Amino acid sequence: MKMIRNRFGSLSRVSAQLQRHVQQMSTNAAASPAEGATISEFRTAVSNPGEHSAMQVAKFYTIPAEQKKQIFTGGGLPKQYEQQIKTFTEACLMVRNPALELLQYIKDGDLTKPVVRYVLYGENGTGKTLTMAHVLHYGALNDFLLVHVPWAPNWMKRPKEASNAAGQEGMIDLPFDAAAWLVHFKTQNGPLLQRLQLKTSKEYVWSKRESTPAGSSLIELVEHGIARIKYASETTAALIAELKQLSTAGQCKVMVAIDGFNAFFHPVTRIFSDNKQLVTPDRVTLTQPFLDITNYDWTNGVCILSVDKIAMTEGHMDSYMPRYLLGKEGFEHLDPFVPIHVENYTDKEFHSYISYYLDRHWINKTPQGFEEQLKFMSNKNPYSLMQLVKAL
Amino acid sequence: MALRVFGLNIVKNNRNLLQNACKSRAPMPCYMAAAPFATDVTVQAAPAAVQKQRVSKAMRAYLKRATEHDEFMKTQHLEFQIGKRHLANMMGADAETFTQEDIDEAISYLFPSGLYDQKARPAMKSPEVVFPARKAAEFDETGRPFHSMFYTGKPNFFQLLHDIVEETNKLADLEERMLRRGNKPDENQKLEIAGFQLLPKDQLELLLVESIADIEYSNFTNSMDRLIASPYAYKSKAFIERYMKPLMDQSKQLEVPKPRIDEEGRQYITTYECLRKTARADVTVRLPGTGKISINGKDISYFEDENCREQLLFPLQFSELLGKVDVEANVEGGGPSGQAGAIRWGIAMSLRSFVDQEMIESMRLAGLLTRDYRRRERKKFGQEGARRKYTWKKR
């Protein structure tokens, strides 16, 4: 009897070793050859979004700190996710199917053709913004100039300041927001702009004394806008027009990413005009350039837009479908576009997220069946899950 | 019974009276049963024969009161009969066969009332019900009490204790005799008291027409328990049953519906009329399933609140069937928490068919199978809400 037990013991030990060996081999195969060290099964060492494939689905990759600082300083990650990143002291993103799908389209797309518009849509809190962040990371690493609006409804719902536009009658300027966006553009694209040495095609006259001559660099244009906040809106329009020209000429690639794009087609904003009436989005000077760049009359770029229920206001939040959120006008503006549905977690993604939280010691209480409970409570919705585990 | 209380002499002296008593008692046997200790003397008082003899002061006072009460009850009864006939006429029914149930129905039809308290709503009941039974004279015309335990103050109660002990002793004697003969109690005739309980204190008080203290009630229950515990308790079945009350609703809850089979070959149970606050739902639970939940065609995101989702999932989690059954619910009316509560009850009731008896019992103890009858409390005038008062301002 004892002998038998001994034999079984040794057998099990052998099998365990075998298993470990197999696991090591598989992780080696999955991970990039550069970093074959021990890595948890819910993480991947591939930190370049361009190399992500179906192998990395439901795994976490880390955005290096300096890249994160460059891309997401001016926004782009949800505030709560930003807090979580700060708590966990690492910027981890999960590789998910919508992002992979989108990346595949971008990689396979022909840049000489007119720009393709991709529209991310889905329920609240499913990860549209983070999908966009994933793609932005790809764009930043692949020499795309990023034209990124972190959350367009901010301009329509809570602008810093609104004033009448100098040049155009009846239009509203948002000077501070425009300047803030220019700063965001500069931080995202500073190094690339230095490298590419892009020049303006014509002279921009701001006032009697101020002008930006033709042939000055884009950085000068942007810096002028930041320094002279009064002209920030016009500068934004000029910059975007220049970018369109330059990319069509083949001097640069442009990635347009606008979160909450449907805010541009909302029936009304919260900005008051002089006669105390709420203005419509098309009377805000910032709207025009961004609608312009989402047209398909230029090449060498991609447009990634997201439509979101919470970009709308009460009474306009019945459905998350693009046709509903964009309205007739917006839908016709974007048509034809490639819709990409962002859904709740799959089982695999869910379990991966739970193990990530456990790894970060974010979930401390683990009674029996807590995972199942969380799954049903959150309905596998990423945002609800994040809210729920806060208290655990 | 009249004999015992009145004393033989009265019966001898006044036979007519006795006959009258029998006549008048005939049409209302139901009230007799309700308070057998009380009815003896209440109605028939002041026989002429009694007044001739020497009467004690107490007896005279009592007789006066009894006559008044007698008169009063007689008029009340008459009025009731007339009212009943009127009502029957109004409703186009036959006055002779008009029962109390018909009266209640007619009243609620003719005087619809939205008053919250049932007791505050209009009613028409027989005077015997409306005016509680009173104790009869406990002493004869010379002031000598009838009952040997009159001076205990609660003769009926102590008589009852006495009777219980007598029965117990009888059974003990019987047991000993049987033991000596080598006989054993008959297993087939064993007294079944599951689903019954002893009369609660307030009902016992009604029966005895005496108010009893808590400790006295516990004396009663103890002696009854001792009697019931006897192996030959079935011999005194009639006596015991007089002080037992059936537990109706519990036995009704015990029946668990059998699951039916749908076209996919899965078992399912549908519970209709799941109510909570003003929400009503019907819930279908299917086994086996994958944990799919659909509420009015949406998934669990129908409820945005965390606590509503928790409410919904609790019975599933409690019975460890989370992820093993599918739930479909249609719910309308009320707010989120009411709807969640209604569905929770529906799920719990349906799950009874898929779990064992032990789990049903623990579900019952967890309060999952109990219907929550609480409703919104009305706003009171002079107050800001149901309970909150207006802010107090000095002036």
Measure the CA–CA gap between B393 and B395, rounded to whole angstroms: 5
Q: Are residues A193 and A174 in the same domain?
A: yes
Q: Which residue of B has its CA nearest to A369?
A: B317
Q: Are residues B305 and B324 in the same domain?
A: yes
Residues from chain A that touch B316, judged by Cβ atoms under 8 A, are 376
- Which domain, by its residues, includes B296? 260-365
Q: Label each residue of A103-135 as H, E or C.
A: HHHHHHCCCCCECEEEEEECCCCCCHHHHHHHH
Helices B357-365 and B306-318 cross at an angle (nearest 10°) of 150
How many domains does the structure of chain A reveal?
2
Q: Of the candidates A294, A292, A257, A239, which has an alpha carbon nearest to the alpha carbon of residue A144?
A: A257
DSSP per position, A31-60? S-TT--S---TTB-S---GGG--GGGTT-E
Is the residue at B317 inside a domain?
yes
Q: Residue B365 has which token pair?
A: 């103890």
Contact call for B291 and A379, based on CB within 8 A: no
Q: Are residues A253 and A107 in the same domain?
A: yes
Residues from chain B that touch A373, judged by Cβ atoms under 8 A, are 313, 317, 322
Q: Of the candidates A217, A216, A239, A253, which has an alpha carbon nearest to the alpha carbon of residue A290?
A: A239
A201-235 residue pLDDT tens: 888 888 888 888 888 888 999 999 999 898 899 99
Contact call for A373 and B313, based on CB within 8 A: yes
Closest Cα in chain A, distance from residue B310 (Å): 7
- Out of B202, B220, B250, a domain closes at B250
Query: How many residues appear in chain B?
Result: 395
Q: Are residues A329 and A370 in the same domain?
A: no
Is the residue at A27 inside a domain?
no
Is the residue at B381 inside a domain?
no
Is the residue at B178 inside a domain?
yes
Q: Are residues B231 and B289 in the same domain?
A: no
Q: Are residues A337 and A364 in the same domain?
A: no
Is-contact A259 A304, C-beta < 8 A? no
Is the residue at A81 inside a domain?
no
Contact call for A372 and B293, based on CB within 8 A: no
pLDDT for res A184: 93
Alpha helices in chain B (DSSP H): 2-6, 8-13, 15-25, 29-34, 39-42, 48-52, 57-91, 100-110, 127-130, 155-181, 201-208, 214-229, 237-241, 248-254, 306-318, 336-351, 357-365
Measure the CA–CA gap between B266 and B353, rounded to whole angstroms: 13
Q: Of the candidates A246, A289, A305, A250, which has an alpha carbon nearest to the alpha carbon of residue A116?
A: A305
Is the residue at B20 inside a domain?
yes
3-state secondary structure of B123: coil
- Out of B205, B231, B250, a domain closes at B250
Closest Cα in chain B, distance from residue A131 (Å): 22
Is the residue at A327 inside a domain?
yes
Contact call for B313 and A123, based on CB within 8 A: no
Q: Are residues B11 and B50 in the same domain?
A: yes
- Which domain, by its residues, includes A359? 347-389
Contact call for A376 and B313, based on CB within 8 A: yes
Q: Which residues contact A109 (CB under 8 A, 6 or more apart)?
A: A116, A302
Q: Are residues B205 and B265 in the same domain?
A: no
Q: Are residues B40 and B113 in the same domain?
A: yes
Q: Are residues A248 and A379 in the same domain?
A: no
Q: Are residues A378 and A324 in the same domain?
A: no
pLDDT for res A35: 44
Q: Residue B390 has which token pair?
A: 């207006």
CA B158 to mean position of chain CA atoms? 24
Q: Are residues B304 and B344 in the same domain?
A: yes
Q: Are residues A384 and A274 in the same domain?
A: no
Is the residue at A13 inside a domain?
no
Q: Around A159, how many Cα atoms within 13 Å sit in the side-chain half-sphere? A: 23
Give me the residue from A123, A369, A379 closest to B300, CB to CB: A379
pLDDT for res B36: 55
Q: Are residues B284 and B351 in the same domain?
A: yes
Regions of chain A where pLDDT drops below 70: 1-39
Measure the CA–CA gap between A107 and B180, rounded to whole angstroms: 102
Closest Cα in chain B, distance from residue A340 (Å): 22
Element (H or E) spanning A304, and its range?
strand A301-306
CB atoms within 10 A of CB B239: 16
Whether B313 contacts chain A with CB within 8 A: yes
How many domains does the structure of chain B reveal?
3
Is-contact B305 B283, C-beta < 8 A? no
Q: Are residues A191 and A305 in the same domain?
A: yes
Is-contact A325 A308, C-beta < 8 A? yes
Is the residue at B305 inside a domain?
yes
Dihedral sign (CA A242, A244, A245, A248): positive
Measure the CA–CA gap between B390 and B394, rounded to whole angstroms: 12
Is the residue at B179 inside a domain?
yes
- Within 262-291 of B, beta carbons closer than 8 Å to A belong to 291
Q: Of the candidates B291, B277, B393, B265, which has an alpha carbon nearest to the alpha carbon of residue B347?
A: B291
Q: Which residue of A has its CA nearest to B314?
A: A373
Is the residue at B171 inside a domain?
yes
Is the residue at B395 inside a domain?
no
* Full pLDDT tens readout for chain B, 395 residues: 333 333 334 333 433 333 433 333 333 433 444 455 654 444 344 454 555 566 777 778 888 888 898 899 999 999 999 999 999 999 999 988 999 999 999 999 999 988 888 889 999 999 888 887 777 777 777 778 888 888 898 999 999 999 999 999 999 999 999 999 988 888 888 887 777 889 999 999 988 888 999 999 999 999 999 999 998 999 898 999 899 887 765 545 567 888 899 898 899 999 999 999 999 999 999 988 898 999 999 989 899 889 999 999 999 999 999 889 999 999 999 999 999 999 999 999 999 999 988 888 888 889 999 899 999 999 999 999 999 999 998 88
Is the residue at A151 inside a domain?
yes
What single-letter amino acid sits at A140?
A
Contact call for B309 and A377, based on CB within 8 A: yes
Burial A123-151 (b: 16+ CB within 10 A, else e): bebbbbbbbbbbbbbbbbeeebbbbbbbb
Is the residue at A294 inside a domain?
yes
Closest Cα in chain A, distance from residue B319 (Å): 13
Give me the residue from A123, A376, A377 closest to B291, CB to CB: A376
Q: Are residues B244 and B314 in the same domain?
A: no
- Out of B250, B277, B307, a domain closes at B250
Q: Are residues B68 and B169 in the same domain?
A: no
Strands (DSSP E) found in B267-393: 267-276, 279-287, 293-295, 326-332
pLDDT for res B7: 38
Closest Cα in chain B, distance from residue A379 (Å): 7
Specify burial of residue A67 (Cβ count, 10 A radius: 0-12, 13-18, 19+).
Answer: middle
Q: Are residues B125 and B196 in the same domain?
A: no
Residues from chain B that touch A376, judged by Cβ atoms under 8 A, are 291, 293, 300, 309, 313, 316, 322-323
> Which of A351, A379, A389 to mutate to probe the B interface, most B CBs <10 Å?
A379
pLDDT for res B193: 78
Q: Are residues A242 and A356 in the same domain?
A: no
- The radius of gyration of chain B from alpha carbons, rounded to an integer in Å, stands at 30
Helices A347-359 and A370-378 cross at an angle (nearest 10°) of 120
Measure the CA–CA gap between B195 and A167, rounded to whole angstroms: 90
What single-letter amino acid sits at B218?
S
Whether B309 contacts chain A with CB within 8 A: yes
Measure the CA–CA gap between B313 and B320, rounded to whole angstroms: 10
pLDDT for res B252: 52
Measure the CA–CA gap between B167 and B240, rounded to whole angstroms: 10
Measure the CA–CA gap between B172 and B181, rounded to whole angstroms: 14
Angle at Cα A74 formed by Cα A144 and Cα A151, nearest 5°? 85
Q: Are residues B119 and B14 in the same domain?
A: yes
Q: Are residues A264 and A366 in the same domain?
A: no
Q: Which residue of B has its CA nearest to A375?
A: B323
Is the residue at A227 inside a domain?
yes
What single-letter amino acid sits at B76?
Q
Is-contact B194 B131, C-beta < 8 A? no
pLDDT for res A32: 43
Q: Are residues A227 and A254 in the same domain?
A: yes
Closest Cα in chain B, distance from residue A375 (Å): 10
Is-contact B276 B338, C-beta < 8 A? yes
Is the residue at A29 inside a domain?
no
Q: Of the candidates A107, A129, A96, which has an alpha carbon nearest to the alpha carbon of residue A257?
A: A129
Q: Are residues A239 and A353 in the same domain?
A: no
Is-contact B116 B22, C-beta < 8 A? no
Q: Are residues B109 and B13 in the same domain?
A: yes
Measure the CA–CA gap between A164 and A273, rounded to whole angstroms: 8
Alpha helices in chain A (DSSP H): 2-30, 65-72, 79-88, 97-108, 128-141, 153-157, 175-196, 218-227, 232-248, 287-293, 322-334, 347-359, 370-378, 382-389
